[in-house]
Amino acid sequence: MNVIRSLLFYLGYFLAILVCGGLFLPVAPLLPLPARYRLLNLYNHFVTAWFRWTCGVRYHIRGREHLPEGPCVILANHQCEWETLYLQILKPPVCTVLKQELLRIPLFGWGLRLLHPIALDRSKPARAMRQVLAQGVARLQEGLSVLIFPEGTRVAPGQRRRYNKSGAVIACRAGVPVLPVAHNAGERWPGRHWVKNPGTLNVVVGEPIATQGRSADEVLAEVEAWIEARLAEISEVPRPGAPAPDRPQRVRSA
């Protein structure tokens, strides 16, 4: 049954890319940025809803009342594609830090390019760090929120990776709050397997974490502790212990 559901899901998923790409991409560049987000995010709304309907997934989302009025830095754990779609519609407009290879995907990547992402070359970590810090602060000053996955890459449920502090640095430099988000989407949408799993997909949005007058290390420690504590509560797969000791950081993208 899960195989049939997953096949049906992907049928709608790829049709949505073709239909939305054909209809929206010619129009989107002509729109101001807020209207462009509303138009292109219709694809995200459809895919997240279609996933729920076809794959027997129930959404349990807590904490949406914590969304701040102004721009913020959203820091979330990264398990699969689902959260990259959902977090775009949680608090739009939002600029996502991602790997530049995604922009080369026909239709999908072309739409991403129109949303002013911060696209990083992961083969040049020092340059990527400078880019994400400079462009991240600039996007916040333009009124966009910034979405960063501090683990830097997809991490399967039950595994853990050291958090990168670039998102906390951006928030501290811009003086905006950090919005922590925890979820178990990878248990429903496995990152490396196409068959989806029915069940409950939990998302918890935390209260904004103030950054003014605080160090990036202090903010990141609070964010990591909060996310890991929520994951321990909502995950079906047990959480591991603490990550390995500190080592030189590399900026990675979603």
Q: Which of 124, 145, 137, 126 is nearest to 33 (CA)?
A: 145
Q: By the 8 A CB rule, do 187 and 235 touch?
A: yes
Strand 199-205 with 178-183, pairing: antiparallel
Q: 3-state DSSP call for residue 236?
A: coil
Q: Which of 126, 130, 135, 170 is nearest to 150 (CA)?
A: 170
Contacts of 158 (CB under 8 A, 6+ apart): 235, 237, 238, 239, 240
Per-residue model confidence (pLDDT) at position 64: 96
Classify burial at 138, counting beta carbons within 10 Å of its beta carbon; exposed 0-12, middle 13-18, buried 19 or more.
middle
Per-residue model confidence (pLDDT) at position 253: 46
Q: By the 8 A CB rule, do 184 and 239 touch?
A: no
Per-residue model confidence (pLDDT) at position 241: 62
Q: Give the CA radius of gyration of the chain.
A: 18
- Secondary structure element (H or E) that encloses residue 38, with its range: helix 33-55
Tens place of pLDDT per residue across the chain (254 aa): 899 999 999 999 999 999 999 999 999 999 999 999 999 999 999 999 999 999 999 999 999 999 999 999 999 999 999 999 999 999 999 999 988 888 888 888 889 899 889 988 877 777 878 888 899 999 999 999 999 999 988 999 999 999 999 999 999 999 999 999 999 999 999 988 899 999 999 999 999 999 999 999 999 999 999 999 999 999 998 877 644 444 445 444 44
Per-residue model confidence (pLDDT) at position 108: 86
Per-residue model confidence (pLDDT) at position 172: 96
In DSSP notation, the chain reads -HHHHHHHHHHHHHHHHHHHHHHHTTTGGGS-HHHHHHHHHHHHHHHHHHHHHHHTEEEEEE-GGG--SS--EEEE---SSHHHHHHHHHSSSEEEEEEGGGGGSTTHHHHHHTT--EEE-TT-HHHHHHHHHHHHHHHHHTT-EEEE-TT-S---TT---PPPSHHHHHHHHHT--EEEEEE-HHHHS-TT-S----EEEEEEEPPPBP-TT--HHHHHHHHHHHHHHHHHHH-SSPP----PPP--------
Instruction: Enumerate domains of the chain plus CATH numbers.
Output: 57-234 (3.40.1130.10)
β-bridge partners, 183: 203
